Structures are given as structure tokens and as C-alpha cells.
């Protein structure tokens, strides 16, 4: 399945399980985000962010950050800021781009490892220890979470949806 079709099927699965994903032209917003990185993001993730807006939700062990024009000051942009004392201060120069956190509630960073030479830029998703960054000023990858966003999407599409969770916090 090509990346665009995979993302469309992935989004349908998310919507079927209650995640309010909205079709939206975010090409310009995505371009502004990607300009702040030294390398391009995975092709499948690019399609996801370029064509959809969504609140934070859990999938495949990851709580993905919210995305869309209404959340431009979101954690995605914060993950590129390199602000003093932030995780991004060390993650971005290390070639890591944070897209979420573990769905366990941990503050560790789930990141694309932009350093690998993956086909179609389908970089692996890794977990970086937040305490090592904040307390010791060093990046330590604790594990690979998924071989790629594409694999996460494929697994989600093929599963019963039990790895998808969304909680609406607004009433």
C-alpha cells in the first residue's frame, strides 16, 4: 500500500475508534514546521500532518501531540524550538524530533530518529530518557518504539483498534 493510501486507512481506523481527526489542508503549516528541522520527516507522517488536524490521542503505545492550525503553538512547534532548558534544546541537534510521549504518562520523548538512512525517510520512532536530558544534559535512547510511523500505521490498520485511545477533555 502506498503511503498516502495507508494514511487514509489509518485515519479511518482512528475515526472509527472515536478520535476526531479532521481533513484539513495543512501543507503550509507543515512546511513551516519542517523548515525548523535539519532533515525531512517521514513521507507517511508528512502526509498525515499535511492533510489532517487532530487532538492528542494514544496509538500503539504513543500519545501523539495535537496538530492543526488551531494548535500552531502546539508541542510539535515546541519540539523544534530548542528553547533553553527544554528537551528540544538537546534533541533537535542530536537529530531527534519529538512527536509525543509514551502513553503510560511518562515524560520521556517519543521521537523520529532523523539520523538513519531509511527508505522514503521512514525513520524509526525511539524513546529518549527525559531525565537524562534535563538532569545530565545528554541524550540517551532507551529503546526503539516502532521501526517507522508506517509500521505503526500498518499495525494499527491490521489490529482490532485496542491500541487507540482518545479522551475528550472538553464538555
In a domain, 168, yes or no: no
In a domain, 120, yes or no: yes
Residue 65 DSSP symbol = P
Cα dist from 97 to 42, 111, 124, whole Å: 11, 5, 11
Instruction: Give 75 or 36, the one with higher predicted confidence.
Output: 36
Residue 61's pLDDT is: 97
Residue 161's pLDDT is: 86
In a domain, 163, yes or no: no
Structural domain containing residue 55:
3-157
**Which residues on neighbouring strands pair with residue 64, listed in sequence order?**
57, 100
In a domain, 27, yes or no: yes
Residue with cell 478520535: 19
Q: What is the CATH number of the domain that holds 137?
A: 3.40.1580.10
User: pLDDT digits over 18-52, tens only?
Assistant: 999 999 999 999 999 999 888 899 999 999 999 99
Residue 8 and residue 3: Cα distance in Å, rounded?
9
Strand residue runs (E) in 31-95 = 52-53, 57-59, 62-64
Number of structural domains, the chain?
1
In a domain, 28, yes or no: yes
User: pLDDT digits over 107-164, tens only?
Assistant: 999 999 999 888 889 999 999 999 999 999 999 999 999 999 999 999 999 999 889 9
In a domain, 165, yes or no: no
In a domain, 114, yes or no: yes
Tell me which long-range contacts 83-89 makes (C-beta under 8 A, separation of at least 24): 85/134, 87/128, 87/130, 87/133, 87/134
List, in order, residues 6 or more apart from 105 with CB less than 8 Å away. Answer: none
Residue 67 DSSP symbol = B
Amino acid at each position: 500500500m502506498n503511503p498516502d493510501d495507508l494514511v487514509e486507512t489509518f485515519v479511518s481506523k482512528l475515526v472509527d475508534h472515536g478520535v476526531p481527526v479532521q481533513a484539513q489542508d495543512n501543507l503550509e503549516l507543515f512546511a513551516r514546521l519542517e523548515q525548523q528541522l535539519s532533515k525531512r520527516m517521514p513521507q507517511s507522517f508528512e502526509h498525515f500532518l499535511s492533510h489532517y488536524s487532530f487532538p492528542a490521542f494514544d496509538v500503539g503505545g504513543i500519545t501523539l501531540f495535537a496538530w492543526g492550525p488551531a494548535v500552531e503553538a502546539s508541542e510539535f512547534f515546541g519540539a523544534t524550538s530548542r528553547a533553553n532548558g527544554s528537551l528540544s534544546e538537546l534533541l533537535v541537534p542530536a537529530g531527534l524530533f519529538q512527536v509525543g510521549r509514551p502513553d503510560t504518562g511518562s515524560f520521556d520523548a517519543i521521537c523520529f530518529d532523523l539520523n538513519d538512512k531509511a527508505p522514503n525517510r521512514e525513520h524509526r520512532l525511539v524513546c529518549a530518557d527525559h531525565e537524562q536530558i534535563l538532569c545530565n544534559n545528554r541524550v540517551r535512547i532507551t529503546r526503539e518504539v516502532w521501526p517507522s510511523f508506517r509500521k505503526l500505521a500498518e499495525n494499527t490498520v491490521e489490529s482490532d483498534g485496542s491500541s487507540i485511545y482518545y479522551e475528550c477533555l472538553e464538555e
